[in-house]
Amino acid sequence: MITVGNPSVIGDGLVQCPDLRVWCADSEFGAGDLLRRLDRADVACEPIATEQLARAASSADAVLIQAAAAAPERVLAPVGSQVVAAVGRSAGTPV
C-alpha cells in the first residue's frame, strides 16, 4: 500500500491490518504522524521520498488517497496525490 500525507480515516483501517506493508509519502510533513501510528500498531511501514513516488505507485498493491473534499470532477487531496494516482492508474494499480 502507498499513502500520501496523514490520512486519518485510512490510517484507522491500516492500523487494524498488521499483515500489510505501507509506504508513506510525506506531503507537507504529515506522514510522520502516520508512520508513528502504524509503527505503534506493529504495521510494517516506511517513509518514501517524493522522488520515488512514481516507482512506488507502480509497484504497490494499491494506492490509497484520502480526500479532504470532493466534487463530481475534482478532489482536494494532499500534495503529490495526483502524481501517485496517475502513475498507479497507468500501471494498473488500484487507486
Residue listed under C-alpha cell 503529490: 80
Q: Residue-wise pLDDT tens for the chain (95 aa)?
A: 988 878 888 999 999 998 999 999 876 667 888 899 999 999 999 998 878 888 888 889 999 988 889 999 898 988 878 888 888 899 899 98
Task: Determine the Cα–Cα distance for residues 42 and 81; give it in Å rounded to an integer.
Answer: 25
- Contact status, residue 68 vs residue 77, Cβ threshold 8 Å: yes
- For residue 25, the surrounding DSSP H or E stretch is strand 21-25
Q: List the grid coordinates of 83.
A: 502524481
pLDDT score for 41: 94
Residue listed under C-alpha cell 502504524: 38
pTM: 0.82
pLDDT score for 28: 64
Q: List the grid coordinates of 15.
A: 492500523
